[in-house]
Homo-oligomer: A and B are copies of this chain.
Amino acid sequence: MDNIKSYVQQHKDRFINELIELLKIPSVSADTAYCQDVIDTAAAVKISLEKAGCDTVEICETAGYPIVYGEKIIDPSLPTVLVYGHYDVQPPDPIELWTSPPFEPIIKKTEIHPDGAIFARGACDDKGQMYMHVKAFEYMIQSNTLPCNVKFMIEGEEEVGSVNLKIFVENNVEKLKNDVILISDTGMISNQQPSITTGLRGLSYVEVEVTGPNRDLHSGLYGGAVANPINILAKMIASLHDENNQITIPGFYDNVEELSLEERAEMAKAPFNLNNYKKALDLNDVYGESGYVTNERNSIRPTLDVNGIWGGYTGEGAKTVIASKAFAKISMRLVPNQEWEHITELFTNHFTSIAPAGVTVKVKPHHGGQGYVTPIDSIGYKAANMAYTETFGVPAIPVRSGGSIPIVALFEKELKSKTILMGFGLDSDAIHSPNEHFGIFNYLKGIETIPLFYKYFVELSK
């Protein structure tokens, strides 16, 4: 498959520049201030799919941001690959921690990326990884080597729960009919050691509001005499974990699958160095559920994290006030078999039940999704592994990821097909963090590897 290598070499500058243009549009779906930018990004994705060679590309309107759908049907009797990705990105804040503006992409060399990496919000998650598929498709069209049908479904609400994609999928089962779903929205172990994500955690995301007095009060005149919503919120949050860092919500662990010691031993084989892990994060120690190691805590175990908290006076200097309200955004990562809507209900009932007299508590569910595990004996998995083996020279290792792509479980339920998670990002790419980046090596390697997946998937399907 030298043709793809040389094609990439020949066109890599254009591939990089086109991605950079896409990254300049701040498509932050969580913040309505960026509304027009998100819509503009959808239009840009449509044009890129048309240029790459899709027969038809549509902007499918939804109750929220549009879904870009494109397809190339060469022969209905051949297999069909459905490519899913998202063009929306995480909010860039804390903006002050970026070394270059999040929406002014710049290429910088790093220790891990000696060939350089593109620094920008969305560089890896998911504009860069989604774009690899557009460019790999362009190659297969130009070289007349596309071995099957392709459908693209690129959404703009992945970072806010894919609520409207769910409806779109349910209403377009026939249109989206496929033999395998291909997604690049995960990572791999290293640039020397590819891996395929075989498990994803589910998610339940809620916002809580604790209200005490009907107005902010002087902490001298009222301090000690009324419930302080911030102190109460802190107390309630603290009570959600016990001394072993297990979650205390009744029923939370009921459906959690306990892995066998064999399975855990298998997982432990994945290369991992705790000291390097701590060093990379400047931590004097890791922290988590008793009885599990780091790579288990963030993959096969459910967790509860406060993602944001605010209340009272947060400005410069001092203000002696008791706030009327305190707020927190709380998310739970779930493992397969934990039903996210049920977990949201358990959280809501528990959290409101532990509110002491003197405050009132509201829980507002944001969104969620199911966990997912994919078998490693499927044609899709084998094809992906053969593709990685050819381009990296070593087979891919199956790993469970702690992240969530809630829509994957829905795809299986509605479209009855397996999803293959071919990720080319690295943990160190700082997705969802300041200074997110995506290696040039990874971007081009992805473009090289994807056509091989098509090739082997079609061969194995015969």
Contacts and interface: CB of A to CB of B under 8 A. Distances in A.
Given A30-B315, A226-B287, A318-B205, A220 B309 contact: no
A303 interface: yes
A307 B219 contact: yes
Contacts of A235: 234, 237-238, 241
A365 to B, nearest CB: 10
Contacts of A224: 288-289, 297-298, 301-303, 305, 333, 402
Given A213-B282, A310-B309, A237 B231 contact: yes
A264 interface: no
Interface in A156-207: 159-161, 187, 201, 203, 205, 207
A230 B307 CA distance: 8
Interface in A278-311: 281-289, 294-295, 297-298, 301-311
B306 A216 contact: no
Contacts of A116: none
A331 B231 CA distance: 12
Given A286-B225, A357-B285, A321 B432 contact: yes
Interface stretch (A12-20, A89-97, A336-344): A89-97
A220 B201 contact: yes
Given A218-B403, A367-B318, A329 B313 contact: yes
A401 to B, nearest CB: 7
A220 B314 contact: no
A227 interface: yes
Interface residues of A, number: 103
A113 B417 CA distance: 71
A226 B47 CA distance: 42
Contact of A94 (B216, B284, B318, B328): B216
A284 B320 contact: no
A83 interface: no
Given A314-B308, A317-B160, A214 B281 contact: yes
A7 interface: no
A413 interface: no
A435 B214 CA distance: 13
Contacts of A216: 94, 97, 432-434
Residue of A220, A304, A360 ringed by the most chain B CB atoms within 10 A: A220
Given A311-B309, A357-B285, A434-B215, A402 B31 contact: no
Contacts of A395: none
A100 interface: no
Contact of A329 (B94, B306, B308, B318): B318
Contacts of A312: 306-309, 329
A139 to B, nearest CB: 30
A358 B284 contact: yes
A234 B309 contact: yes
A212 B207 CA distance: 22
A139 B222 CA distance: 36
A217 B360 CA distance: 31
A404 to B, nearest CB: 5
Contact of A91 (B219, B295, B298, B315): B315
Nearest to A313: B308
A427 interface: yes
A230 B308 contact: yes
26 contacts: A30-B315, A30-B318, A91-B317, A97-B216, A159-B319, A161-B318, A214-B281, A217-B432, A219-B303, A221-B427, A222-B298, A231-B237, A234-B234, A234-B235, A235-B241, A238-B238, A283-B358, A285-B358, A287-B356, A307-B312, A307-B313, A307-B320, A308-B319, A312-B329, A314-B329, A321-B433
Give 10 nearest A-B pairs by CB, closest first. A224-B303, A30-B317, A220-B403, A308-B312, A227-B287, A287-B358, A238-B238, A285-B357, A214-B282, A225-B298
Interface of A: 29-32, 90-91, 93-94, 97, 159-161, 187, 201, 203, 205, 207, 212-228, 230-231, 233-235, 237-239, 241, 281-289, 294-295, 297-298, 301-323, 326-329, 331, 333, 356-360, 366-367, 401-404, 427, 430-435
